[in-house]
């Protein structure tokens, strides 16, 4: 196919070019489906100015490797309005992967075929983005990007799996029985040491399942975004499904270990209502809850947000990294020397 003459993505980390970095947009878009410019800047261009990023996105769009549509600013979580509380003249863009973009990734060998098959794509000239669902989908992207931005700062991070709209289980008829809003798996390996060995902006993508082995420990998060519109009975059913699939060993077989359900809800009473349903659906089971505000730590983002168990009385505040034994004091030391550009050595 005709396209930008990108160098190979498998070049050594010390020689990764600016053009290769723009190709990472495709990999991220294929995993999250919907991306705002702010998230692309945060994850892929943290050491470049906004103009550089915009030129890169324009080039990818012109080559039909990504699609874009303008959306209301209120659709994007955390969007900042002008001082007079008026939206900007131009609505912001949301970006995603096209079939041509996914084909390019396959041709470059940028991802495993199993990962590519799970990447949602939309046509360049008619992406058909539905506004009613978009706010939910962008809340998913916002949470996952924050997790990834925090995790990739740690030199112990050995592998990352992330996919929005991840189908965890299908029945014999091929119908989705369980679908996470997002699956995020983070593998940390104590043997890697404290020195930053990859470019600070880079994410060590992997393909699942990721398993605990030797000095490696894995966090498996099943993100569930609740905007307060689902019936509570639906949440009761979700808890029961998590229970059944956990006890049957399904997550062990497909993900390498148990998945922790992480439910994010609007501020207010909703989190408590969800927790009560979870207790009924899976007494004593796994699962944590937070709201969209508390899930974001002011310094370390969603990875270190305020999460509470749903089946303990009273609820206990827990860390998403409890499974890997990394307290926040150790985390602060590990990420202290993170730099967004190339590794120091």
From the list 38, 179, 15, 8, the residue with the least C-alpha distance to 107 is 8
How many whole angstroms separate alpha carbon 325 and alpha carbon 188? 10
CA 53 to each of CA 26, 37, 99, 142, 295: distance values in angstroms, whole numbers, following the listed order: 13, 8, 22, 18, 28
Q: Where are the domains of the chain?
A: 1-129, 132-345
pLDDT digits (tens, 9 = 90+) for 199-243: 899 999 998 899 999 999 999 999 999 998 888 889 899 999 999
How many whole angstroms separate alpha carbon 304 and alpha carbon 295? 8
Tell whether the model's pLDDT for residue 40 goes beyond 70: yes
**Exposed/middle/buried for 111, CB within 10 Å: 0-12, 13-18, 19+?**
buried
Structure confidence at residue 341 (pLDDT): 83
Strand 176-189 with 307-309, pairing: unpaired
How many whole angstroms separate alpha carbon 341 and alpha carbon 23? 16
The architecture that CATH gives domain 1-129 is Orthogonal Bundle (1.10)
Asked whether the beta carbons of 29 and 207 are under 8 A apart, the reply is no
* Dihedral pair phi/psi, residue 181, rounded to 5°: -65, -35
Q: Residue 167, preceding bond cis, omega within 30 degrees?
A: no
Q: How far apart are the first and last CA of the chain?
A: 37
* Residue 20's pLDDT band (cuts 50, 70, 90): confident
How many whole angstroms separate alpha carbon 262 and alpha carbon 146? 14
pLDDT digits (tens, 9 = 90+) for 44-96: 999 999 999 999 999 999 999 999 999 988 888 865 444 345 555 578 999 99
């Amino acid at each position: 196919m005709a396209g930008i003459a990108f160098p190979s993505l498998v070049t050594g980390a010390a020689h990764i070019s600016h053009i290769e970095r723009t190709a990472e947009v495709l990999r991220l878009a294929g995993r999250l489906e919907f991306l705002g410019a702010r998230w692309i800047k945060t994850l892929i261009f943290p050491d470049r100015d906004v103009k550089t990023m915009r030129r890169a996105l324009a080039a990818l769009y012109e080559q039909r490797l990504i699609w874009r549509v303008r959306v209301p600013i209120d659709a994007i979580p955390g969007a900042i309005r002008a001082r007079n509380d008026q939206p900007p003249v131009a609505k912001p863009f949301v970006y995603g992967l096209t079939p041509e973009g996914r084909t390019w990734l396959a041709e470059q060998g940028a991802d495993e075929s199993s990962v590519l098959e799970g990447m949602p794509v939309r046509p360049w000239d008619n992406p058909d983005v539905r506004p009613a669902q978009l706010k939910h989908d962008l809340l998913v992207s916002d949470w996952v990007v924050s997790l990834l931005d925090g995790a990739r700062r740690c030199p112990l991070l050995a592998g990352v799996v992330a996919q929005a709209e991840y189908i965890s289980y299908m029945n014999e008829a091929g119908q989705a029985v369980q679908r996470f809003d997002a699956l995020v798996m983070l593998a940390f390996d104590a043997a890697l040491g404290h020195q930053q060995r990859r470019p600070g902006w880079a994410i060590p993508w992997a393909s699942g399942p990721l398993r605990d082995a030797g000095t490696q420990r894995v966090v498996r998060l099943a993100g569930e975004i609740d905007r307060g519109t689902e019936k509570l009975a639906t949440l009761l059913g979700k808890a029961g499904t998590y229970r059944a699939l956990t006890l049957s060993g399904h997550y062990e077989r497909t993900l390498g270990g148990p998945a922790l359900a992480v439910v994010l809800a609007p501020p207010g009473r909703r989190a408590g209502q969800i927790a009560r349903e979870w207790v009924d659906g899976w007494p004593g089971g796994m699962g944590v809850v937070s709201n969209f505000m508390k899930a974001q730590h002011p310094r370390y983002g969603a990875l270190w947000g305020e999460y509470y168990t749903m089946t303990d009385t009273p609820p206990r505040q827990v860390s998403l990294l409890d499974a890997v034994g990394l307290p926040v004091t150790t985390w602060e030391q590990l990420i202290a020397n993170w730099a967004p550009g190339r590794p120091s050595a």
